């Protein structure tokens, strides 16, 4: 069986990665499996354990790092986030195209370990619009919003390292561009 693709959606917090993903992740033609990350962040209202994330404490996350269980991980604004390796490998060996939605530090680790990964950087139409979106979401206190925005400016400098750059002016349009990219690489 042909091994599935590894697709990485990355970009600054609040740019709309999760919103875009919802538009294409269930498309049967894309044969996708979403990789559920591990995080030490607290659960937001409406989030579900095992669906949005596997929520763990810091000692459990640090043990997973020590045991080599993560494909990549990063500390992002005070919390750990990481991709469990075993699940990604299993799904890809079953022919599934595996989709990661991760921040840029983690994506750089994936680029080194898996040079064939389809890396896609989502950019906002402007930094003002990014600020509007992250505030508008209303999930973080002001101090964290500020930290995420200041990180975003530095993350935007790494855009040239990605194979594809997609602007999220409209999530449906961005999703259809990403779907096309994936389909091309499935041929």
Ligand X SMILES: Nc1ncnc2c1ncn2[C@@H]1O[C@H](COP(=O)(O)OP(=O)(O)OP(=O)(O)O)[C@@H](O)[C@H]1O
Ligand Y SMILES: Nc1nc2c(ncn2[C@@H]2O[C@H](COP(=O)(O)O)[C@@H](O)[C@H]2O)c(=O)[nH]1
Angle, CA 84 vertex, CA 95 and CA 168 arms, to 5°: 75
Tell me how long the chain is: 187
Handedness of CA 117, 98, 126, 135 (dihedral sign): negative
Extract long-range pairs of 147-153: CB within 8 Å, 24+ residues apart: 147/77, 147/78, 148/12, 148/13, 148/14, 148/77, 151/12, 151/13, 151/76, 151/77, 152/12, 152/13, 152/14, 152/15, 152/127, 153/127
Nearer to ligand Y, 39 or 97 (CB): 39
Q: Is 72 in the site for ligand Y (CB under 6 A)?
A: yes
How far apart are alpha carbons 53 and 47 in whole angstroms?
Answer: 8
Cross-strand pairs, 32: 97
What residue number has its CB nearest to ligand Y? 106
Interface mask (CB under 6 A) for ligand Y, residues 1-30, using x and -?
A: ------------x---x-------------
CA distance 45 to 105: 26
> 3 or 52: whose CB is closer to ligand X?
52
The binder of ligand Y chosen from 5, 7, 33, 74 (CB under 6 A): 74
Contacts of 142 (CB under 8 A, 6+ apart): none
- Return the one option of ligand Y, ligand X, none that residue 170 interacts with (CB less than 5 to 8 A, by type): ligand X
The three-class DSSP label of residue 37 is: strand
Q: Using CB distances below 5 to 8 A depending on partner kind, what does residue 37 bind out of ligand X, ligand Y, none?
A: ligand Y
> Under the rule (CB under 6 A), what is the footprint of ligand X?
13-19, 133, 136-137, 168, 170-171
**Residue 17 annotated as binding?**
yes
Is 35 within any annotated ligand binding site?
no
15 annotated as a binding-site residue: yes
Q: Contact between 152 and ligand Y (CB under 6 A)?
A: no
Rank residues 24 and 76 by Cβ distance to ligand Y and give the closer one.
Answer: 76
Q: Does 14 count as an annotated binding residue?
A: yes
Closest approach of ligand Y to the CB of residue 124, in Å: 13
Residues comprising the binding site? 11-18
- Residue ranges that bind ligand Y, judged by CB under 6 A: 13, 17, 37, 41, 72, 74, 76, 81-83, 101-103, 105-106
Binding site feature residues for ATP: 11-18
């Amino acid at each position: 069986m042909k091994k599935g693709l590894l697709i990485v959606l990355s970009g600054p917090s609040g740019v709309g990665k999760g919103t875009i993903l919802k538009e294409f992740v269930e498309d049967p033609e894309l044969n996708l499996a979403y990789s559920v990350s591990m995080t030490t962040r607290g659960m937001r209202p409406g989030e579900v354990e095992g669906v949005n994330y596997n929520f763990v404490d810091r000692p459990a996350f640090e043990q997973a790092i020590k045991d080599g269980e993560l494909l990549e991980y990063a500390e992002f604004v005070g919390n750990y986030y990481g991709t469990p390796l075993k699940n990604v490998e299993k799904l890809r060996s079953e022919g599934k195209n595996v989709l990661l939605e991760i921040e840029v530090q983690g994506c750089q680790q994936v680029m080194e370990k898996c040079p064939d990964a389809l890396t896609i950087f989502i950019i906002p139409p402007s930094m003002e619009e990014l600020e509007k979106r992250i505030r508008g979401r209303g999930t973080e206190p002001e101090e964290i919003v500020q930290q995420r925005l200041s990180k975003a400016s530095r993350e935007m400098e790494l855009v040239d390292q990605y194979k594809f750059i997609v602007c999220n002016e409209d999530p449906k349009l961005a999703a259809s561009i990403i779907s096309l990219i994936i389909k091309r690489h499935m041929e």
